[in-house]
């Protein structure tokens, strides 16, 4: 099956078609992670985007029912140098092409992904079309130009849950499902599945939330209630949460004004922790501005410095917008983390209110676990706030 990737500036890449036959458009971005392609493709933050994976050999360990971050792939399409036709892993239940085909996601492979990534680094992320049906280059370029721009696009409202629900599975559930055993020969300890009464009730706003975030919230002793993105603050407070979590998600944060309004009403009344899009919403709620990055941060190897300790964390990232630090009031906000690649703002906290956020993904999946302590920080904040209320 032949396939074409056409960019809005007229650049054309011809290759082999895999996955689902058809045509999909979106913003073309690249991710530098070496593993975790299933987690990446099922991350709702990739809604509206075609993902290039810079690692040249993708699909070799197949897919399985445990590694997805949501119920389906959200990426519009996948671009790789080589898509393995053989899945060699004892956990694999389906090869990558078949997995994507059942959800209508097209793949283009056997193209020069290095040339494509260099093009995007020079000119910035841009709209594109993958097609296995229409192979007319000029038609596809015109379709790319007419597809929606990511700027001004509220995608959180499209990917959010339709109704409220509960989540109870911890990270240990994955191990209990066959990911590891005590005699596996690994030095990594197997988490305990002993049940314990949750200490906290966390309400999580779903702007495109990943399942591993929910597991990590359970890991710190939380009963988690997930609510739709546009849930008013008073409805959240009626649930009597010990803390509110603001999730990751796709699209431009500025059109998600309903979320910033809710955060302004929640700030000071309950501890708040935001990541990724949630971090950008916190910035907007505190009177800041956001802007679009040239080609975004997507990968599992981004160095971030904690400005309060001087420690450097290697982080997992996936975002195309950032908060402008100069737009925040220094009298109210402390800038806590900075990206060492381009100096963009990666974290903040309020000086007096129980509210903090980071731009990157402390839950990893895929990626390093350097920033996992942030969930413990959220638990400590909830404990301290509860003690202050009791006093």
pLDDT of residue 182: 35
Check if the beta carbon of residue 213 is closer than 8 Å to that of residue 363. Answer: yes
Is 359 in the same domain as 231?
Answer: yes
Q: What is the CATH number of the domain that holds 340?
A: 3.40.50.880
pLDDT < 50: residue spans in the chain = 179-195
Q: Residue 207 falls within a domain, yes or no?
A: yes
pLDDT of residue 391: 57
Is 98 in the same domain as 161?
Answer: no
pLDDT of residue 183: 35
Is 202 in the same domain as 134?
Answer: no
The per-residue pLDDT for range 272-284, each reduced to its tens digit, is: 999 999 999 999 9
Where in the sequence is the domain holding 86, given as residue range(s)?
2-146
Is 162 in the same domain as 180?
Answer: yes
The per-residue pLDDT for range 29-64, each reduced to its tens digit, is: 999 999 999 999 999 999 999 999 999 999 999 999
CA distances from 62 to 2, 50, 68, 324 (A): 22, 20, 12, 40
Domain count, the chain: 2
């950008």: which residue's tokens?
280
- Distance between CA atoms of 376 and 380, rounded to whole angstroms? 6
pTM above 0.85, yes or no: yes
The residues assigned a catalytic role are 276, 361, 363
Q: What is the CATH number of the domain that holds 119?
A: 3.50.30.20
Q: What is the dihedral of CA 208, 212, 217, 223, to 10 degrees?
A: 80
Cα 76 to its chain centre, rounded Å, is 15
């Amino acid at each position: 099956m032949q396939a074409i990737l056409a960019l809005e500036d007229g650049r054309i890449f011809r290759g082999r078609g895999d996955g689902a036959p058809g045509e999909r458009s979106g913003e073309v971005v690249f991710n530098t992670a070496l593993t975790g392609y299933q987690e990446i493709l099922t991350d709702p933050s990739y809604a509206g985007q075609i993902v290039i994976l810079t690692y040249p050999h993708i699909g070799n360990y197949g897919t399985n029912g445990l590694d997805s971050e949501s119920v389906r792939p959200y990426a519009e399409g996948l671009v790789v140098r080589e898509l393995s036709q053989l899945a060699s892993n004892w956990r694999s239940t389906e090869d990558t092409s078949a997995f994507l085909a059942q959800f209508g996601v097209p793949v283009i492979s056997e193209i020069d992904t290095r040339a494509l990534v260099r093009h995007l680094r020079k000119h910035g992320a841009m709209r594109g079309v993958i097609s296995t049906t229409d192979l007319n280059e000029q038609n596809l370029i015109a379709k790319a130009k007419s597809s929606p721009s990511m700027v001004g696009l509220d995608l959180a409202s499209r990917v959010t849950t339709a109704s409220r629900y509960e989540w109870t599975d911890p990270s240990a559930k994955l191990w209990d499902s066959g990911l590891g055993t005590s005699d596996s020969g690994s030095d990594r300890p197997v988490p305990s599945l002993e049940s314990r009464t949750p200490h906290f009730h966390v309400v999580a706003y779903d702007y495109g939330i990943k399942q591993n975030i929910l597991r990590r919230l359970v890991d710190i002793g939380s009963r988690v209630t997930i609510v739709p993105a546009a849930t008013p603050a008073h409805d959240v407070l009626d649930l009597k949460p010990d803390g509110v979590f603001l999730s990751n998600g796709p699209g431009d944060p500025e059109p998600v004004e309903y979320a910033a309004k809710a955060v302004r009403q929640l700030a000071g009344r309950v501890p708040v922790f935001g990541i990724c899009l949630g971090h950008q919403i916190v910035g907007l709620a505190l009177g800041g501005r956001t802007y679009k990055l040239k080609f975004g941060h997507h990968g599992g190897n981004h160095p971030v410095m904690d400005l309060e300790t001087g420690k450097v964390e290697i982080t997992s990232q996936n975002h195309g917008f950032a908060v402008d630090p100069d737009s925040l009031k220094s009298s109210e906000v402390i800038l806590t983390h900075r990206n060492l690649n381009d100096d963009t703002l990666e974290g903040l906290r309020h000086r007096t209110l129980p509210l903090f956020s980071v731009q990157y993904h402390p839950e990893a999946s895929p990626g390093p676990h350097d920033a996992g302590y942030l969930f413990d920080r959220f638990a400590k904040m909830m404990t301290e706030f509860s003690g202050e209320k009791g006093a």
